[in-house]
Structure 1
Amino acid sequence: MLSAVTVSQETIEFRDSPEPTLQSGHALVRVHNVTLCGTDLHIWEDDYPTDLPLIQGHEFSGIVEALTPGEVSNDDAAISIGDRVAVNPIICCGKCRPCRTGRYNVCHNVGCLGCYSDGALTELISVPLDKLCPVPDELPLDIAAMGEPASIAMQAVNRGRPEAGETALVLGSGPIGLLATLYLTELGVTVVCADTEQHRLDLAVEFGATDTLLVSPGSNFPDAHQGPRLDALTDGYGPQLVIEATGVPSSLENAIRLVASAGRIVQVGISPRQANVSMKDIPYKELDIMGSRMSLNLIPDGLALLARHPKQARALMTHRFAFADLEQAYRLMQGRKEKIGKILIEMPAGTTA
């Protein structure tokens, strides 16, 4: 079978490799679709704490091709040959304290297919049965590849303990911010979105945002016009919940400054950079500041969210590339010159399905 191997910085080699053998407790999945995220770009650029060479790809969907006889189910749903599935890529030890307390997404030895071990940019992959997530009948298989990012957004929202009638500020209207906006809106939360790109804010309105704030990099936020708008939406107290989905240090600083007293901030954007955090606002406001990483068994919920909102899900997927053109996809992400949402890589099986 053919695999795309990131062998060194910005270098991909397509290699013939043996097909995986079927193991007990696993299924063989024929990969049809892979979507890319910022982590994939960082790995390709060799700017991520993982070792190369590596077969990337952690957001994917496909069709079950083989199962060990008699092993036809995971913990949640029956799995059969021919089923359409998305895959939970998280690997955990099951023994450390976070795993024992049900927080395996922050396992001390957490792994992820396509990030720390070989992933889905290959034709056939062996996956533990309990990582398989059946795709709803009404959801196209290409859109199902986004079940993993949808689960990340839902994890961040759930961490923030939203309540219907509250106002939330979502900082960043990339895919995670948009999906968080969609989910918050379903929960009855009024959502205000802020971003540095107007086209992303236009999309945020389609995902349910009540109002949007365009931020100029390096300027005061909110400005003299935006501040009163935000005050009007929050009765002058500030949003009860802020989802920080950019990873930009100044954005977390803004979140702490703008959130209401007794409010909650969820940091889902990731960056190695340092934020200049106020040591006064956090105790004076008695804030809850929470991190959010990957998700806890939420890919089925993410698939259901996408299935309930087919128009928004389709709008999120802005580019498609054939498997052979994978490097072009990374170059597009790196250049940041086009309006990019999610990029889909159509695997050989997906183009013939």
Structure 2
Amino acid sequence: MLTARTIAKETIEYQETAEPVLAEGNALVRIHHVTLCGTDLHIWEDDYPTDLPLIQGHEFSGVVEAVGENPAGIQPGDKVAVSPMSFCGDCQPCRLGRYNVCENISCLGCYEDGAFAELLSVPVEKLCPVPEGLALDLAAMGEPASIAMQAVNRGRPIAGETALVLGSGPIGLLATLYLTDLGVKVICADIEPERLQLATRFGAVDTLQVVPAADFPDAGQAQRLNKLTRGCGPTLIIEATGAPASLENAIRLVASAGRIVQVGISPRSAAVSMKEVPFKELDLLGSRNSLNLIPDGLNLLAAHQDQARELMTHRVPFGKLADAFELMRNRTEKVGKIMIEMPASQPPSQNAQVLAGASA
């Protein structure tokens, strides 16, 4: 089978390797679709705490080709997404039921070989059946949907309250979609007007454009925000950018006794107010991965397929992975989710083109 291995910084090598052998308790999944996120870009740039060489790819869907012992009732031919995380079960977080922050956590495509391969062997319990009617390409986004849902759940949303989502990238938009389904009124903020237009289609009742190096909110935005929150500020804020200034804005804008969930990741430091946090008695919460929420994420996508499809801005064949990473990095055009089309997703007549692209 054909695999794509990141062997060094910004260097992908396509290799012919033996297909995996079906192991007890595992299934063989023929990979059809893989989506990219910022973590994939950092790994490709060798700017992530993992070791190269590595077969990347952690957001993916495919079709079961073979299955061994099968208490879950999975059958060959079933369409599945795959949970890429594994946990030790023994560390303190795991014992608390917080295995999403396991001290020994691993992830396919991040710390061990992942989905940029034609066939993958995975434990049966990691298979997440695709709901009836959900397109298999959209199912590849079950993992990012689960991350957005974990962040929202951490914030303990209450129907009828007003939330502010800072950042209208894929995670912020999926969080907006989920919050809206839960009966929460959502305001979205972002620096890109095109993303804010998309946010309204994901359920936002209002949007605020952030202008770099300018006051946020400006006078007009502050008036709208006060009207929507009855002068108290949003009671829940999801910070989905990872920008230090955005967390600082969240602490300043959130209502007293409010909750802030930090899901955006950055190595940079933010200036946290040592006055507002205690004076407002804020809940400042982190969010990472999810507590096995990919099945819930798939159901969210199935209920909102039109919006989910709008997240996908580019499709790139497997043989042109380097082009996909360059597109993410250079931002020569507006980029949402990039879908990598694996050979199995293409008609047989096109597979030769995929393989030719890989060897070019």
* 1:94 counterpart SS class: coil
2:289 partner letter: M
Corresponding residue of 1:245 = 240
Corresponding residue of 2:335 = 340
Once the two structures are TM-superposed, the CA of residue 72 in structure 1 deviates from its matched residue by: 2.0
Corresponding residue of 1:352 = 347
CA distance in 2, matches of 1:221, 1:326: 38
CA distance in 2, matches of 1:266, 1:171: 10
Corresponding residue of 2:59 = 59
Is 1:137 aligned to residue 132 of structure 2? yes
Corresponding residue of 2:268 = 273
Once the two structures are TM-superposed, the CA of residue 44 in structure 1 deviates from its matched residue by: 0.5
Once the two structures are TM-superposed, the CA of residue 117 in structure 1 deviates from its matched residue by: 0.5
Corresponding residue of 1:39 = 39
2:21 partner letter: T
Is 1:2 aligned to residue 2 of structure 2? yes
Corresponding residue of 2:70 = 72
Corresponding residue of 1:154 = 149
Corresponding residue of 2:283 = 288
CA distance in 2, matches of 1:279, 1:112: 36
**Contact 1:169–1:191 (Cα < 8 Å) also in 2:** yes
Pick from 55, 80, 83 the counterpart of residue 85 of structure 1.
80
Pick from 249, 267, 275 the counterpart of residue 254 of structure 1.
249
Once the two structures are TM-superposed, the CA of residue 100 in structure 1 deviates from its matched residue by: 1.8
* 1:30 counterpart SS class: strand
1:285 partner letter: K
CA distance in 2, matches of 1:284, 1:216: 28
CA distance in 2, matches of 1:45, 1:3: 19
Identity, in percent, stands at: 70
**Contact 2:25–2:70 (Cα < 8 Å) also in 1:** no
Pick from 198, 203, 226 the counterpart of residue 231 of structure 1.
226
* 1:43 counterpart SS class: helix
The worse-fitting range, judged by mean Cα deviation, of 54-63 and 221-230 is: 221-230
* 1:192 counterpart SS class: strand
CA distance in 1, matches of 2:165, 2:150: 14
1:32 partner letter: H
**Contact 2:262–2:287 (Cα < 8 Å) also in 1:** yes
**Contact 1:73–1:80 (Cα < 8 Å) also in 2:** no
Corresponding residue of 1:26 = 26
CA distance in 2, matches of 1:67, 1:224: 60
- Deviation digits for residues 69-126 of structure 1, max 9, x if unmatched? xx2233xxx2111110000000111111211221111000111100011000110111
Once the two structures are TM-superposed, the CA of residue 352 in structure 1 deviates from its matched residue by: 2.8
Once the two structures are TM-superposed, the CA of residue 265 in structure 1 deviates from its matched residue by: 0.3
- Deviation digits for residues 7-34 of structure 1, max 9, x if unmatched? 1111111011111111111111110000
Unaligned runs of 5+ in 2: 349-360
* 1:86 counterpart SS class: strand
2:71 partner letter: S
CA distance in 2, matches of 1:73, 1:112: 23
CA distance in 2, matches of 1:90, 1:217: 36
Superposed, 1:155-234 pairs within 5 Å as: 155-234=150-229
2:49 partner letter: P
- Deviation digits for residues 107-147 of structure 1, max 9, x if unmatched? 00111100011000110111111100000120010000000
1:159 partner letter: R
- Deviation digits for residues 222-251 of structure 1, max 9, x if unmatched? 111111111110001000000000000000
The worse-fitting range, judged by mean Cα deviation, of 134-143 and 96-105 is: 96-105
Is 1:328 aligned to residue 306 of structure 2? no
- Deviation digits for residues 170-195 of structure 1, max 9, x if unmatched? 00000000000000000010000000
2:151 partner letter: A
- TM-score normalised by L of structure 1: 0.97
Unaligned runs of 5+ in 1: none
CA distance in 1, matches of 2:55, 2:131: 28
1:337 partner letter: T
The worse-fitting range, judged by mean Cα deviation, of 19-28 and 282-291 is: 19-28
CA distance in 2, matches of 1:182, 1:107: 28
Is 1:101 aligned to residue 99 of structure 2? no
Once the two structures are TM-superposed, the CA of residue 337 in structure 1 deviates from its matched residue by: 2.3
Q: Cα gap change, 1:318/1:73 in structure 2, threshold over 3 Å: closer, same or farther?
A: farther
